[in-house]
Structure 1
Amino acid sequence: MTPATAERRRNYHVGNVRGQLLVAARDILHESGRGGLSLRAIADRAGVAPGTVYYHYADKAALLSGLAIDGFRQLADAMREAYDAGPPDGGLRTTGMAYLNFLREKPELYELMYDALDEGRREDVTAAEAEAFAVLRQAIMAEFAAVHPPEVAHKIAEAIWAWGRGIAVVALSRGDRGCGPKDEAVESAVRGLEALILRR
């Protein structure tokens, strides 16, 4: 056991082991990519015995689903904060930029989130994505309330959500592994969407 691991084991709080495991997994993902996410490595980073992981998560897939849920909640928070800090009529730009900035800054986590959503078919992961989409939907519907009925604004929000996923797939497939889209690509994508939807 390394001194750092021993120190973490002395300091961990029993009631928050699940959270500590997610933080450890998130740090490893950021530093080493998904290849570094072994349960032993996560346990070591969190400062707990390997067997402790199985007390909180049935297997590695369950832990990664927990990481995906945490990622969708981070995305929801980022979009919510951007929308709340922006102009009342700027829902498309503020939430869109927050979404793409999340992708740019956390590409490995973003990929894991959607892999967990597409492959795991877990209701809790689906609910977490819905929570993030609800933030964007609220912002878009508020922005378009004066020009479109609610059902049309809702469809616009769904289209924008799908557009964001499409941009992510293209950006991640063309970029270096572990890297999100560049600043100019993010800005260009948002401007293009504004031109299409807002007719600017």
Structure 2
Amino acid sequence: MFTRHPGAQMGTTETTSAVLARRRSYHVGNVRSQLSLAASALLESEGASALSLRAIARRTGVALGTVYYHYADKHALLAGLAAEGFRELAATLRLARERLGPEGRLRVAGMAYLDFVSARPALYGLMYEMRDIGRREEVEAAEGEAFAEMALAVSEDAGAGAETEAIRQVAQAAWACARGIAALALARGGPGRLDENTVREAVLGLEILVAGRPIRL
């Protein structure tokens, strides 16, 4: 049976035990996932400027050396978050598409895209910052996964016999529209939120264009 050394302080023992318990929870199988979750939470609460490998180590109780094992530097951390953001966006689009019936999947996917931006504005901003400036293959590949879900929505709406190139072109147009609406709504909505009127009017305007409805004065 182990006993506490007579000279040890109770407060020190409790603190050490708490730290060790927290670190034990980060076993090999989930360290990177937990680091990513902590980084994502810090990003949404304090912004990208607050992110650092030391900050993540402090937040999780993981040794700094272990954090460096998973992320070589801050740029790698940001790129990893951006890639995971795009994969989360892909999952969001997939879920929206699968929940709907056989009609209108592109519209639902587009609205799911904007819902994602509304829920994760800081992450979304980082995703495209790293995509457009960072130029990391991991981020570009993850964006490709999300875009593929948009293309599937177009394909399923179009039905059998649709031309592959036309599907890709329509998906590109939808992707550009969603990104443009998101950027404009974020700019007009202030820090961390979408301007809902911008989203509503832009979506309605797109539906008028797609339906070919006349615009009467």
Please confirm whether the aligned pair reaches a TM-score higher than 0.5, indicating the same fold. Answer: yes
Indicate the residue corresponding to 2:8 in structure 1. none
Deviation at 1:81, TM superposition (A): 0.4
Distance, in Å, in 1 between the alignment partners of 2:57 and 2:202 is 39
Q: What RMSD in Å do the two structures reach over aligned CA positions? A: 2.2
Alignment of 1:179-194 (within 5 A): 179-182=193-196, 184-194=197-207
Q: Deviations over 1:20-71 (max 9, x none)?
A: 1111101111111212212211112222012221111110110111101110
Distance, in Å, in 2 between the alignment partners of 1:189 and 1:162 is 13
Alignment size in residue pairs = 199
Retained in 1: the 8 A contact 2:188–2:194? no
Deviates more, 1:130-139 or 1:5-14: 5-14
Indicate the residue corresponding to 2:154 in structure 1. 140
Change (3 A) 1:54 1:85: same
Indicate the residue corresponding to 2:209 in structure 1. 196
Distance, in Å, in 2 between the alignment partners of 1:108 and 1:196 is 31
Q: Deviations over 1:98-135 (max 9, x none)?
A: 00000111110000000111111111110000000000
Structure number with higher helix proportion: 1
Say which SS state the counterpart of residue 173 (structure 1) adopts. Answer: helix
Q: Deviations over 1:164-193 (max 9, x none)?
A: 1111221222221122333x4433333322
Match of 2:131 among 117, 124, 128: 117
Aligned partner letter, 1:197: V
Distance, in Å, in 2 between the alignment partners of 1:17 and 1:148 is 45
Alignment of 1:153-172 (within 5 A): 153-172=167-186
Deviates more, 1:189-198 or 1:130-139: 189-198
Indicate the residue corresponding to 1:107 in structure 2. 121
The question of 1:55 aligning with 2:69 is answered: yes
Aligned partner letter, 1:44: R
Give the TM-score, by structure 2 length: 0.83
The question of 1:81 aligning with 2:95 is answered: yes
Indicate the residue corresponding to 1:70 in structure 2. 84
Greater relative contact order (CA < 8 Å, ≥ 6 in sequence):
1
Structure 2: segments with no counterpart, 5+ residues: 1-14
Aligned partner letter, 1:198: A
Give the TM-score, by structure 1 length: 0.90
Distance, in Å, in 2 between the alignment partners of 1:4 and 1:166 is 47
Structure 1: segments with no counterpart, 5+ residues: none
